[in-house]
Amino acid sequence: MLVFRQLFDPTSSTYTYLLGDSASGEAVLIDPVFEQVRRDAALISELGLKLLWSLETHVHADHVTGAWLMKNRLGSQIALAAASSATGADLLLQDGDRVTFGKRSLEVRATPGHTNGCITYVLDDESMAFTGDCVLIRGSGRTDFQQGNARELYRSVRSRIFCLPESCLLYPAHDYRGLTVTSVCEEKKYNPRLGGEIGEGDYAGYMKNLDLPHPKKLDEAVPANLRCGQPGNGAAALEDPSWAPLRFTFSGVWEVEPHWLEENLSAVRVVDVREPNEFSGPLGHIRGATLLPLGELAAKARELPKDKPIVAVCRAGSRSAHATAILQKAGFTDVANLPGGMLRWRGEGRSVEGGAS
């Protein structure tokens, strides 16, 4: 079975696509965004996948790729078009190449025009294609920088994308209105720049007069993406908290393992966000824990000293996950949740104060 996820970066309106083969667990990630690598790595781990490749559709002008950071964290390799002139890739792709993950694969089609190194990835059964900034939903990538060429883009679309099966779903690298997917059939009929009877000259005329402001991040993004997202001049690479071996979840919460907490109780402040009757009830509580019920946390958070990192605890780990968000909002940076809460803590036979034996 194919695992497929469409992920969104709201800052740059970029889509990142995760494709996996469930039998082997092998996966690829198309167009990761630097600032979202933590999130995407969490999803890959929670789905039990092994990331083989970060694949770029092109050298982006509006955001920095997460390819290098993913490689750094997960050991995945990086591939993009040879024509991109980028350095730091593990594989430079040519038209007709295939990228394999488990029993599935993506075919590489050169679709230049937005940039000269733009490629479209077509899934083995031609049910989906990832068009980057070549075809957008009822639009197209701009052609006014990075060796852009409107006539070339038109020919790419007509000869390499619109010839796919009508039902083939097209997934772009961006959408600025929140639209998520289109199809060959729809775009052939309704794309106002590229569809119907529109000719190459018509398209070139349209694009010449588009008059878009340059992407805000252009000057930072292009040089960084020509290095596959490796930070330049010793810039920090998205530092993780170092006070404990924390895990970040796809739901956006930092978690600390119960065994670490038990061994490091004196280094942190445990904040138990259950109700008083639960705190003194049969599950007991962790030694030294501060009782601060979730309903009072927002109002009383500032009374908590900031001298130690905080681990939030509740019965099963859900109220305390919310508590970490409340604490972060109140200005606490070193905060983590205890997953599974007191139920798991007791289930693992860890020591408590009070409670039934």
Ligand X SMILES: N[C@@H](CCC(=O)N[C@@H](CS)C(=O)NCC(=O)O)C(=O)O
What are the residues binding ligand X (CB under 6 A)?
12, 60-62, 133, 139, 141-142, 174, 176, 212, 215-216
**Shortest Cβ distance from residue 221 to ligand X (Å)?**
9
Our CB check for ligand X shows the closer of 4 and 176 to be 176
Q: Which does 215 bind (CB under 5 to 8 A by kind): ligand X, Fe ion, none?
A: ligand X
**Shortest Cβ distance from residue 32 to ligand X (Å)?**
15
Is residue 56 near Fe ion by the rule CB under 5 A?
A: no
**Shortest Cβ distance from residue 141 to ligand X (Å)?**
4
**Shortest Cβ distance from residue 113 to ligand X (Å)?**
10
Our CB check for Fe ion shows the closer of 59 and 310 to be 59
Q: Which does 216 bind (CB under 5 to 8 A by kind): Fe ion, ligand X, none?
A: ligand X
The sheet with strand 98-101 has its strands ordered as 98-101, 104-110, 119-123, 128-132, 169-172, 182-183
**Shortest Cβ distance from residue 202 to ligand X (Å)?**
16
Q: Which does 21 bind (CB under 5 to 8 A by kind): Fe ion, ligand X, none?
A: none
Our CB check for ligand X shows the closer of 74 and 221 to be 221
| Nearest CA-CA partner of 14 in 79, 61, 54 | 61
**CA–CA distance from 156 to each of 129, 199, 213 (Å)?**
14, 13, 24
Place of tokens 């927002």: 298
Q: Which does 355 bind (CB under 5 to 8 A by kind): Fe ion, ligand X, none?
A: none
**Interface map 128-167 toward Fe ion (x if CB under 5 A):** -----x----------------------------------
Our CB check for ligand X shows the closer of 12 and 16 to be 12
Tokens of 248: 């970040």
Q: Which does 283 bind (CB under 5 to 8 A by kind): ligand X, Fe ion, none?
A: none
Q: Which does 315 bind (CB under 5 to 8 A by kind): ligand X, Fe ion, none?
A: none
**Shortest Cβ distance from residue 258 to Fe ion (Å)?**
45
CA dihedral 247, 249, 253, 255 (to 10 degrees): -30
Our CB check for ligand X shows the closer of 133 and 272 to be 133
Separation between Cα atoms, residue 180 and residue 325, nearest integer Å: 29
**Shortest Cβ distance from residue 76 to ligand X (Å)?**
23
**Residues forming a β-bridge with 92:** 80
Our CB check for Fe ion shows the closer of 97 and 133 to be 133
What is the CB neighbour count within 10 angstroms for residue 356?
Answer: 9
Q: How many residues bind Fe ion (CB under 5 A)?
A: 1
**Shortest Cβ distance from residue 133 to ligand X (Å)?**
5
**Interface map 106-135 toward Fe ion (x if CB under 5 A):** ---------------------------x--
Amino acid at 209: N
Q: Which does 12 bind (CB under 5 to 8 A by kind): ligand X, Fe ion, none?
A: ligand X
Q: Which does 139 bind (CB under 5 to 8 A by kind): ligand X, Fe ion, none?
A: ligand X
Tokens of 300: 């009383």
Separation between Cα atoms, residue 332 and residue 337, nearest integer Å: 13
**Shortest Cβ distance from residue 222 to ligand X (Å)?**
10
Binding site for Fe ion (CB under 5 A): 133
